[in-house]
């Protein structure tokens, strides 16, 4: 009935960890070494002001493009997760439509500098003030706070990979046709995540902290949708003609 | 759903590189 966790051998869990970690590293957009080479360069004040003085719609379009690029990597990640492509096409679409932006937010902690409260964006590290022209200060603050709290967990790449897969394979999304199959896959991923956390000798509370992040992610994504609706109400033509088609498909 | 998400569907169909 889907309530009892599936029986999985240690070897199977190790294999799942290996596959998902590999998928994550192959599709994570930026390798840690590449980020280190960027030497955590921050935008200068005049560059910040240039972003701030962009028209609202231009900044929205720029962010939509960056989000869409990141989402394309998440789609590739999903495709390489064991069992994802075995789900029916409807459910693959449902899971990505609901979860791809959530995974982008999870992945953000890899490109986030907690000490300076900056994130890698458009070639350098940007603080929340860079995004002022969007007119969504509250959402931006929440996104930065989320990245900071994810960073404070100091997840390894393996742990981050499995948590991303866990988020993506959420069995409680609306409109799933084969909910039970998604549920089984998510339970296996959760067991693999627990397995890795134990192996890495993480304290017991980490899994609970990660579970709390799931609801924070949902809140961030629904607020993004609200902000987009408000923006679209004022600039319908900009969204229609200038926003990336994939972004419109996912959030329209 | 597939009809409304043609690009996503296409990305899913493309073989992984």
How far apart CA A182 and CA A78 sit, in angstroms, is 13
Interface check B7 vs A, CB under 8 A: yes
Task: Count residue pairs from A and B with Cβ separation < 8 A.
Answer: 39
Q: For A85-126, how does the pLDDT look when each residue is reduced to its tens digit (9 = 90+)?
A: 999 999 999 999 999 999 999 999 999 999 999 999 999 999
How far apart CA A170 and CA A97 sit, in angstroms, is 12
Residue of A76, A175, A249 with shortest CB distance to B8: A249
- State yes or no: pLDDT of A234 exceeds 80: yes
How far apart CA A221 and CA A215 sit, in angstroms, is 10
For position A204, what pLDDT does the model report? 79
Query: What pLDDT band is residue A1 in, cutting at 50, 70 and 90?
Result: very low
Mean pLDDT confidence for A2-31? 89
Which range (A38-42, A68-72, A192-196, A204-208) has the least confidence? A38-42
How far apart CA A41 and CA A237 sit, in angstroms, is 35
CB contact under 8 A, A94 and B1: yes
Enter the DSSP assignment of A106.
Answer: H
Q: For A154-166, how does the pLDDT look when each residue is reduced to its tens digit (9 = 90+)?
A: 999 999 999 999 9
| Residue numbers in A near B6 (CB within 8 A) | 249
- State yes or no: pLDDT of A178 exceeds 50: yes
For position A158, what pLDDT does the model report? 97
**Least CA distance to B2: which residue of chain A?**
A90
For position A203, what pLDDT does the model report? 81
- State yes or no: pLDDT of A189 exceeds 70: yes
The complex's ipTM?
A: 0.93
For position B3, what pLDDT does the model report? 87
Q: Using alpha carbons only, what angle is made at residue A189 by residues A203 and A193, rounded to the nearest 5 degrees?
A: 15
């Amino acid at each position: 009935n889907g309530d009892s966790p599936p029986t999985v051998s240690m070897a199977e869990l190790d294999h799942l960890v290996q596959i998902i970690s590999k998928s994550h590293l192959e599709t994570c957009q930026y390798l840690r070494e590449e980020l280190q080479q960027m030497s955590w360069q921050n935008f200068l004040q005049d560059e910040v002001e240039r972003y701030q003085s962009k028209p609202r719609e231009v900044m929205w379009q720029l962010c939509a493009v960056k989000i869409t690029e990141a989402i394309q990597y998440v789609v590739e990640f999903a495709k390489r997760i064991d069992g994802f492509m075995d789900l029916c096409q409807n459910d693959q679409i449902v899971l990505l439509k609901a979860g791809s932006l959530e995974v982008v937010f999870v992945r953000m902690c890899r490109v986030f500098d907690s000490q300076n409260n900056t994130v890698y964006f458009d070639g350098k590290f940007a603080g929340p003030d860079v995004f002022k022209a969007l007119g969504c200060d509250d959402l931006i603050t929440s996104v930065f706070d989320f990245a900071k709290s994810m960073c404070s967990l100091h997840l390894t790449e393996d742990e981050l990979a499995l948590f991303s897969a866990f988020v993506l394979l959420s069995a409680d999304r609306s409109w799933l046709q084969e909910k039970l199959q998604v549920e089984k896959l998510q339970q296996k991923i959760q067991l693999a995540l627990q397995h890795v956390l134990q192996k890495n000798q993480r304290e017991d509370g980490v899994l609970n902290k990660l579970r709390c992040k799931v609801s924070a992610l949902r809140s961030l994504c629904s607020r993004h949708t609200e902000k987009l609706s408000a923006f679209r109400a004022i600039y319908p033509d900009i969204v229609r003609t200038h926003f990336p088609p994939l972004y419109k498909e996912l959030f329209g | 759903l597939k009809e409304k998400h043609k690009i996503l569907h296409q990305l899913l169909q493309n073989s992984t590189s």
